[in-house]
Amino acid sequence: MLPLHAKRIVLGVTGSIACYKAADLASKLTQLGAEVDVILTAAAEHFIKPLTFQSVTGRRAYVDQDLWGPEGHVLHVKLGKDADLLLIAPATANTLAKLAAGQADNLLTLTALAATAPLMLAPAMDGGMFDHPATQASLETLRARGAHIHGPVSGHLASGLSGVGRMLEPAELAGHARVALGAGGPLAGRRVLVTAGGTQEPIDPVRVIANRSSGKQGYALAQAALDLGAQVTLISGPTALVPPVGAHLLRVQTAVEMRDAVLQHAAAADMLLMAAAVADFRPSQAADKKIKRAEGVPTVELAANPDILKEVSQQAKKPRMLVGFAAESNDLLANAQGKLASKGLDLIVANDVSAQDAGFEVDTNRVILLSKDGGQEELPLLSKYEVARKVLEKAASLLK
Ligand code: PMT
């Protein structure tokens, strides 16, 4: 199931050059599974055509002229009442002022008055217009009324000047929309701690012992937890992945750093999901200067790293739900069962990493969920996001 399946978003588009980015935003939200109804203001129609939005959403895009059509007298009420989120991107200074004043002189502002859904605004305008006390007052009024305002950010503006006025990028806005739409989900009010990626253990200033974990499965867990309404802290080993919008990100390098970060946050968490591939061993003494080839082949003595999950499970104050992953190349079930018991877990995700399409680096995974109460659920090959949703739904049901 797509993350925004059955969610209805009204995307209001107002007259700014950032309209071209709104088409990408509409496309991204549609690809996430949302039903996106676009309303263009007359000024937006100068920059971009309804057909562009219809082509990416597969749905009709509305313009002011529709107010005077056969359904005109109820259109704004229907669009407003059906919406789970009203997102206006780009939002011009003019539309912000109208919204703050409660003016309703076009289909979009009429819909905004009729809507009961959360209002999200992505302002876009020249820097001087954004700084103007009138615009700032509009934003303050709207914020006080509960509107979520994201951006603008600093950068190159259409005027050729640089300053604060650029609309936030579509990917980030889509992330904020996910957070808003997740509110009230099955994990609302829960604090979820996720670890992701592999740790790196220094041998010398330039070399490390690492593993093949990309962080994809852990980042997918963090995103899925946000989609289900949780507050998420993501403790990540080194990776180039972009963290999900809304997650509180802590970057670590070594297993010891990851242990410290997990212990610091575990007491306040309801759930810990350890998808990280933590190095079991580290060089007992990292050289402080680069080891030279001319010095001959070095011997690297190893020391055991802490078992993070085991330590957490032995704490007096710990998350109510402890979820581990078992990355196995053989004897999957027996090894995973062993870790479930020895690490004191509620749930373990047995991950066969010997297959090409599952485990490290790839975008798909194939897992078996084993719970403390003897439950066993084998999942087919799924995307890592789908695996994450299944794991979280199972963990949430056990938490109840
Ligand atoms: O990051 P990707 O490329 O998307 O790959 C995903 C994954 C294969 C890394 C992930 O799905 C996975 O299986 N993660 C667990 C990897 C692992 O270290 O498994 P393990 O069997 O060695 O450890 C068992 C559990 O103990 C894990 O939850 C691990 O985080 C935890 N552990 C391990 C060692 C250690 N010193 N402390 C720990 O807490």
The residues annotated with a catalytic role in the active site are: 211
pTM of the model: 0.96
Q: Residue with the nearest Cα to atom 17 of ligand 1? A: 277
Ligand 1 proximity of 353 Cβ (cutoff 6 Å): yes
- What residues does each domain of the chain span? 8-181, 191-399
Query: Average pLDDT over the chain, rounded to whole?
Result: 96
pLDDT at position 159 is 85
pLDDT class for 72, splitting at 50, 70, 90? confident
Q: Residue with the nearest Cα to atom 34 of ligand 1? A: 278
Instruction: Please determine whether the domains at 8-181 and 191-399 fall in the same fold group of CATH.
Output: yes
Report how far residue 332's alpha carbon sits from residue 359's, in angstroms, rounded to the nearest whole number.
12
Ligand 1 proximity of 281 Cβ (cutoff 6 Å): no
SS3 of the chain: the string is: CCCCCCCEEEEEECCCCCHHHHHHHHHHHHHCCCEEEEEECHHHHHHCCHHHHHHHHCCCEECHHHHHCCCHHHHHHHHHHHCCEEEEEEECHHHHHHHHHCCCCCHHHHHHHHCCCCEEEEECCCHHHHHCHHHHHHHHHHHHCCCEECCCEEEECCCCCEEEEECCCHHHHHHHHHHHHHCCCCCCCCEEEEEECECCEECCCCCEECCCCCCHHHHHHHHHHHHCCCEEEEEECCCCCCCCCCCEEEECCCHHHHHHHHHHHHCCCCEEEECCECCCEEECCCCCCCCCHHHCCCCCCEEECCCHHHHHHCCCCCCCEEEEEEEECCCHHHHHHHHHHHCCCCEEEEEECCCCCCCCCCCEECEEEEECCCCEEECCCEEHHHHHHHHHHHHHHHHC
CATH superfamily of 8-181: Flavin prenyltransferase-like (3.40.50.1950)
Ligand 1 proximity of 237 Cβ (cutoff 6 Å): no
pLDDT at position 131 is 95
Report how far residue 225's alpha carbon sits from residue 178's, in angstroms, rounded to the nearest whole number.
11
pLDDT class for 387, splitting at 50, 70, 90? very high
Distance 197 CA to ligand 1 centre (A): 8
What are the backbone dihedrals phi and psi of residue 97, each rounded to the nearest 5 degrees, phi first?
A: -65, -40
> Which residue among 199, 200, 213, 307 is best mutated to probe the pocket of ligand 1, counting the most ligand atoms within 8 A of its Cβ?
213
pLDDT at position 134 is 98
Ligand 1 proximity of 351 Cβ (cutoff 6 Å): yes
Ligand 1 proximity of 336 Cβ (cutoff 6 Å): no
pLDDT class for 286, splitting at 50, 70, 90? very high
Q: What is the pLDDT of residues 52-70, one digit of tens each?
A: 999 999 999 999 999 988 8
Asked if the bond preceding 152 is cis, omega within 30° of 0, the reply is: yes
Distances (CA, A) of 254 to 198, 210, 259, 385, 392: 9, 10, 9, 26, 26
Q: Residue with the nearest Cα to atom 23 of ligand 1? A: 326
- Ligand 1 atom with the smallest distance to the CA of 212 is 3
Distance 271 CA to ligand 1 centre (A): 16
Q: What is the mean pLDDT of residues 357-383?
A: 97
Report how far residue 238's alpha carbon sits from residue 253's, in angstroms, rounded to the nearest whole number.
6
Q: What is the mean pLDDT of residues 247-266?
A: 98
pLDDT at 362 over 80: yes
- Topology given in CATH for the domain delimited by 191-399: Rossmann fold (3.40.50)
Ligand 1 proximity of 48 Cβ (cutoff 6 Å): no
Q: What is the pLDDT of residues 115-170, one digit of tens each?
A: 999 999 999 999 999 999 999 999 999 999 999 999 999 999 888 888 899 999 99
Which amino acid would we find at residue 135?
T
Which amino acid would we find at residue 3?
P
Q: Residue with the nearest Cα to atom 21 of ligand 1? A: 326
Ligand 1 proximity of 278 Cβ (cutoff 6 Å): yes
